[in-house]
Amino acid sequence: MRMPWLSRCCVLLSCLLAPAAWALTGPELAVALNQSYQSGALRCAGNRPAYFCSGVLVRQQPANAPLPFWTHGPEAIGQGAERFSWLRHDVGGMSVSEPSGYIFSNRFEAMAQGKDYSVQGDDGGTRPGELRVVNWDTSLPERLAVVAVYYNRGDINGLLAAQRDQRAYHEAVGVWLPVLRLDPALPQSAVFGFDSREQLYRGYQVADRLNLRYADTAASCYDASPSYNCNGVLIRATGASAGFRSWNPTQNSISRDGVSFTYLRADTGVQRLASNEPGLIFDRLDQPVTHPVRLRCAYPANAGTSGIPNSCRASCLSQGITTVAAWRARYAGSAANSCAFSMEPTPNAAQFQLNIDVRASAGAHNEIIIGAWPQNIPRELPIEAIYYPSGSASLAGAKLIQRDYFQHTGVFMPVVRVNLASGNGQVFTFVAQDQNL
């Protein structure tokens, strides 16, 4: 039975007034797709099939699918069409079993964009569970009605595959498709989800934040606390090997309650990193985190703390050292034996800044001691990025840490390059091709 004229007009008007999926942010798109997934429309405006305005059209990609994702494999070439899953809460018979894939807009939205597609054998009826979209011109990915890539939350490699596809589309078209999480086992309003941490472009944002903190040389934070809370960059070389968790303190660090970091800032004069090994970068310490860390003390040079039982020597303040001149009078010739600029029991902004000010004669890099934390709590720590020194051979190690972190947390942590010799202020750089995709 045909829909009454007024009802058809109302359906068409709702489609025209609904926010277009291609204009939505990642979180908004996830909401719109969940609403479409919950829709129960039997027909769409103009007596069109239900997939024109409801449900979600998904192309599941097996791990061995051809790359880039918009190219056609042997089956599609032979059939003249790609097999899509049409997901809706009331349509059964289709499981989401592949690790990742991509999502098309519905037909009305695709038509409005000038990116319409055809469905093979379209007789105006619904296709429960499956639609076959006629093959497109693979040389024109910008003409695709794709609105997102997704990963199956039940597959540990799905996110990396989705990010690989996100990168490929950006390289080809110059547009960042959102990465969405797909889990049909969740309530209907949450089948599709968006997490900003899972977007590949987040790496560029992280690098920008690091460069801004590196350039900020304020001697204290807005609340008068030491500057390490809000500026500069705390970085630790850990190395990488199978079975080693880079986020865990070593037994030596645990025994002396001290994990060694380097503090990078434009005015520290640090000439090189502690090693050419990959490692971790911590976020600013005034950010909320499940397990806050303690910065115990700072040295203006490599202090060889692995051999110091408590990591922190006698404080400089206890020796009356409150000026650059006083420090130089005692340690100018042996910076490695310096007293510790202590942050315990009370953090001291002036002492931490003095640690920076005396660096002119203190050697290649400084040493910052953070109290040891419990083992196996990677998600609870203020880890912001994984790094490797630019020009070194440790990219493979950084990728190993990245994958290890993802496997233990389910969280994507970007790999950034560090180049202290950069002359353009871009000490930290994110390169999409460096990621373990």
For residue 300, what pLDDT is reported?
A: 96
pLDDT tops 60 at residue 403: yes
User: Which pLDDT belongs to residue 424?
Assistant: 83
With a cut of 60, say whether residue 127 has pLDDT above it: no
pLDDT category of residue 28 using cuts at 50, 70 and 90: very high
Rounded Cα–Cα distance for residues 415 and 432 (Å): 9
* Tokens 């020194």 -> residue: 389
> Is residue 184 predicted with pLDDT exceeding 90?
no
Mean pLDDT, residues 406-414 taken together: 91
Strands (E), 107-227: 129-134, 146-152, 179-182, 192-194
| pLDDT > 90? residue 224 | yes
Q: Which residue has the higher pLDDT, 431 or 6?
A: 431
Kindly report, residue by residue over 199-213, the tens digit of the pLDDT: 999 999 999 999 999
pTM: 0.85
pLDDT tens readout for residues 257-275 = 999 999 999 999 998 898 9
User: What is the share, in percent, of the chain residues with pLDDT greater than 70?
Assistant: 91
Residue 14 has a pLDDT of: 40
Strand pairing class (192-194; 179-182): antiparallel
Q: How many CA atoms lie within 13 A of 357 on its CB side?
A: 18
CA distances from residue 139 to 73, 135, 172, 173, 369 in whole angstroms, order as listed: 14, 12, 10, 11, 54
pLDDT band at 156 (very low <50, low <70, confident <90, very high): confident
Q: Where are the domains of the chain?
A: 5-198, 204-434
Query: What is residue 31's predicted lDDT score, i.e. its pLDDT?
Result: 97
Q: What is the pLDDT of residues 29-40, one digit of tens each?
A: 999 999 999 999
Q: Which residue has the higher pLDDT, 379 or 1?
A: 379
Which tens digits make up the pLDDT trace of 326-379?
Answer: 999 999 889 999 999 999 999 999 999 999 999 875 568 899 999 999 999 999
Determine the pLDDT at residue 92: 76
